[in-house]
Structure 1
Amino acid sequence: MVSFFLSYRLDDESVAARLIDDALSARFGSDNVFRDTRSLPAGADLAAELSRRLADSTALIVVIGRRWRGDAVCGLGNPPHHIQREIEFAFDLNIPVIPVLVGGAEPPRETDLPAALRPLARRQFWQIHQRTADADIRDLIDDLATRFGADVGAGPVVPLILSEKPVPRLTSPFAHRAAVAVVYSSHEGDLEVADPRRPMRWTELLIRSHQTRYEVDISDHHLVLDVTLPAKDDLHHFTATLAVDFRVTDPAEVVRLAITNAVTPVRDFLVHTLRPISREFTVDEAVQAEMAIERRLGSDNLVPGGITLRSVRTRLGVDDQASRYLREGEQARGRLLDLAAEHRLQLRELLEADDWRGVEPGPLARSTPGTGWHPKPLPLPVAAGQPERLLVARAPTQVPAGQDLSVDVRIVTEGRPFHPDAVTSPLANLLVADDGTPVTVTVHAPAGLHNEGPLQQTVLVTPTGDPPPIRFGFGARTAGLYRIDVTAWAGGTFLTEVSVEVSVAAGGPFRDGQPKTAPLGAPQARPGEVTMEVRFDGSRYTFQLRSDAGELFAPVVESVTNTPNAAVENAIRELQQLAGGGSRYSARMTREVIRSAGIQLWSEMVPADVQDQFWQVGSGMSALTIATDYDVVPWELLYPLSARQDSGFLVEQVPVVRRTYGQQLTRKVGLRDPRFVVPRQAPSGAHEEIAAIRAILGAADGEPISRADDLLALINSGRLGATHFACHNTFSADGSFIDMDGGRFKPALLAEASIRRLLKETGPLVFINACRSAGAAPTYTKMLGWAQQFMSSGAGAFVGTLWAVRSESSARFATAFYRSFAEGATLGAAALAARREQQDDPLDPTWLAYTVYGDPYATAA
Structure 2
Amino acid sequence: MLVRLVQSTVEDSSFGSASNDTFDVVVQPIANVEIVGSCELQMRVATSDNSPPIRFLTLAKNAGTARIRVFVFRGGEAVAQLTVAAQVTNDGPTSSTRTQVALQAQTEREFGHGNDLTMLVLEQKTPPSYTIFLNAADASHKVNFMKFGPIPVEQNPQQLFDDFFADFEALADASTGTYSHIELHLAQRGSWLLETVFPRDLRELVWTLRTRIKTVLIQSDEPYIPWELCKLQGLEDGTIVEGPFFCEAFQLTRWMPGVPRRSVLTLDCMAVVAPVDSGLRATEEETEFLRSQNGTQRRVEGLNADYARIIRAFANAQYDGFHFAGHGAFGGSAGRSEIELDAGLCLRSTDISGSARNLGKRKPLIFLNSCQSGRAGLSLTNVGGWSAQFLRAGAGAFVGTYWSVFDDGAALFSRTFYQGLFDGLSISESTQLARAAVKATGDPSYLAYTVFAEPGATVDVINDRDAGLSNDESN
TM-score computed with the length of structure 2 as normaliser? 0.82
Select which of 544, 559, 567 maps to 2:160: 567
Q: State how far apart, in whole Å, the 1-side matches of 2:359 and 2:14 are.
A: 21
Offset, 1:764: 1.1
What is the CA-CA distance between 1:697 and the residue it aligns to? Answer: 6.2
Is 1:769 the counterpart of 2:369? The answer is yes
Match of 1:652 among 241, 248, 266: 248
| Partner in structure 2 of residue 297 of structure 1 | none
Contact 2:158 2:377 (8 Å CA) reproduced: no
- CA distance in 2: counterparts of 1:614 and 1:480, whole angstroms: 42
SS of equivalent to 1:445? strand
Aligned-pair Cα RMSD in Å: 3.3
Cα deviation, residue 729, structure 1: 1.4
Say which of 679, 684, 690 aligns to 2:287.
690
Per the alignment, in what secondary structure is the counterpart of residue 758 of structure 1?
helix
Secondary structure of the residue aligned to 1:565 is helix
Aligned residue for 1:669? Answer: 265
What is the match of residue 133 of structure 2? Answer: 545
Distance 2:293 2:440 in 1: 23
2:79 is paired with a residue whose SS is: strand
CA distance in 2, matches of 1:662, 1:477: 26
Distance 1:475 1:813 in 2: 49
Structure 2 alignment gaps of length 5 or more: 461-475
Write 1 or 2 for the structure with the bigger share of strand: 2
Correspondence for 2:5: 410
1:729–1:770 contact (8 Å) kept in structure 2: yes
Match for residue 471 of structure 2?
Answer: none
Give the SS at the match of 2:314.
helix
Question: What CA distance in whole angstroms lies between the structure 1 residues aligned with 2:301 and 2:359?
Answer: 22
1:410/1:467 contact within 8 Å kept: no
1:478 corresponds to 2:73: no
User: Number of residue pairs matched?
Assistant: 441
* Aligned position for 2:341: 740
Equivalent residue number for residue 522 of structure 1? 106
Structure 1 residue 835: Cα displacement: 0.6
Amino acid at match of 2:284: H
Q: 1:499 to 1:446 in 2, by over 3 A?
A: closer
Q: Aligned equivalents of 1:609 and 1:447: distance in 2? A: 30
**Identical pairs, percent:** 23
SS of the residue corresponding to residue 640 of structure 1 reads strand
User: What is the CA-CA distance between 1:748 and the residue it aligns to?
Assistant: 1.5
Aligned residue among 612, 621, 625 for 2:213:
621
Distance between the aligned counterparts of 1:557 and 1:447, measured in 2? 17
**Mapped contact 2:31–2:66 kept (Cα < 8 A):** no
Relative to structure 1, the CA distance from residue 773 to residue 677 in structure 2 (aligned partners, 3 Å threshold; closer, same or farther) is same
- Cα shift at 1:856: 0.9
The 2-side partners of 1:407 and 1:563 are apart by: 34
Which of 814, 818, 823 pairs up with 2:414?
A: 814
Does the 8 Å contact 1:432/1:461 carry over to 2?
no
Alpha-carbon distance between aligned partners in 2 of 1:720 and 1:640, rounded to the nearest angstrom: 39
Alignment of 1:449 with 2:46, yes or no, is no
**Secondary structure of 2:190's match?**
helix
Match of 2:466 in 1: none
Q: Are 1:441 and 1:488, in contact at CA under 8 Å, matched by a contact in 2?
A: yes
CA distance in 2, matches of 1:575, 1:841: 19
Deviation string, structure 1 residues 454-490 (Cα, Å, up to 9, x no partner): 3223344699999975443312233354432222323
The question of whether the paired residues in 1 share the 8 Å contact of 2:115 and 2:216 is answered with: no
SS at match of 2:284: helix
- Specify the code of the residue in structure 2 equivalent to 1:751: S
Cα deviations by residue, 1:58-89 (Å, 9 ceiling, x for unpaired): xxxxxxxxxxxxxxxxxxxxxxxxxxxxxxxx
Which runs of 5 or more residues in structure 1 are unaligned?
1-405, 417-426
TM-score by length of 1: 0.47
CA drift at 1:594: 1.5
What CA distance in whole angstroms lies between the structure 2 residues aligned with 1:617 and 1:484?
A: 33
Match of 2:94 among 486, 496, 510: 510
Are 1:707 and 1:740, in contact at CA under 8 Å, matched by a contact in 2? yes
- The residue that corresponds to 1:389 in the other structure is none
Q: Distance in 1 between matches of 2:294 and 2:121?
A: 34
Match of 2:195 among 593, 603, 625: 603
Q: 1:680 to 1:621 in 2, by over 3 A?
A: same
Secondary structure of 2:232's match? coil
Quick check: 2:203–2:233 contact (8 Å CA) kept in 1? no
Deviation digits for residues 503-545 of structure 1, max 9, x if unmatched? 4343366144352525514248936222241425265222223
Equivalent residues of 1:411, 1:467 under 8 A apart: no
Contact 1:668 1:763 in 2 (8 A): no
TM-aligned CA deviation for residue 789 of structure 1: 0.7
Residue 578 of structure 1 and its aligned partner are, at CA, apart by 3.8
1:531 to 100, 114, 119: 119
Compared CA separation, residues 631 and 740, structure 1 to 2 (3 A): same
